Structure 1
């Protein structure tokens, strides 16, 4: 299953996108294939007011009927905040 991830920085601080974690739980594996455009999280910083989109793919077991994707940005400034976004849907 392939999908696009967009992170928009509405904060006043820069976000280090290398610190964003993405997981495809329930036995799914993320695909890393540069030729197909699945390079993982961008190796860049996201300035306030900007957004960044990248492509991700996960392989789910053939028996999977639903998918759950979790994306967590990590704050390295010391305040320790994070907010995990959880997306769910049907596997076709």
Structure 2
């Protein structure tokens, strides 16, 4: 009886080598770290950079054998960067809101001469427009001008320093402020106004064609524009 020849061993399939697997895992981990750190303002700049690095590694790993893992890592890194930008924008808006509350800055109010501007610490009125001619000792002697009475009422609980920033326009041109000591035009006062008290002084501007707009701003309140239509 003839012996059967031995069977040849079955070929064993060799495992496919993993390509860029470490990069895919790294992208995934960096993406998770970026998402976790995105709400933390003191860290999210760093975590955004980490997510950016993870994105690059994930794109490279996508050409390897761990495509699904790399795609998840890339998606997480993109989400981390987006969340960081949203968190920072929200923080900036909140900071602007707090700054506006502290400084009183905001949209300027437009009123007519005779109206009262109600600010954070003061009420401010520009009223009683009168024509006059500047005196011979004025910086612009014998010039046609307009005067206004300015009244400041301190409704806060502490003394308010009269630090007003005042400008004016006549028509489309800047109106020069009148300084004439003899006529009582001494510029803007700087003394303190006590709580519940008021301060009244005169302002004058060299006249010109068109409506006059008096712009008044303070270091603690919004700007206000008082328009004198003629």
Whether TM exceeds 0.5 here: the answer is yes
**Residue 35 (str. 1) matches residue 182 (str. 2):** yes
The Cα of 1:27 is off from its aligned counterpart by: 1.5
**Residue 24 (str. 1) matches residue 163 (str. 2):** no
Greater relative CO (CA pairs within 8 A, separation 6+): 1
RMSD between superposed Cα atoms in Å: 1.4
Contact kept in structure 2, 1:9 and 1:49, CA below 8 Å = yes
Corresponding residue of 2:211: 66
Structure number with bigger Rg: 2
Higher relative strand content:
1
- Give TM-score, length-normalised by structure 2: 0.34
SS of equivalent to 1:24: strand
Which portions of structure 1, spanning 4 or more consecutive aligned residues, are displaced by more than 4 angstroms?
none
The Cα of 1:85 is off from its aligned counterpart by: 2.1
Corresponding residue of 1:57: 204
The Cα of 1:60 is off from its aligned counterpart by: 2.9
Structure 2 gaps, min length 5: 1-145
SS of equivalent to 2:182: helix
Higher relative helix content:
2
Corresponding residue of 1:89: 228
Corresponding residue of 1:78: none
How many aligned positions are there?
A: 82
**Residue 9 (str. 1) matches residue 148 (str. 2):** no
Contact kept in structure 2, 1:14 and 1:46, CA below 8 Å = yes
Contact kept in structure 2, 1:15 and 1:45, CA below 8 Å = yes
Structure 1 gaps, min length 5: 75-80
The Cα of 1:67 is off from its aligned counterpart by: 0.8
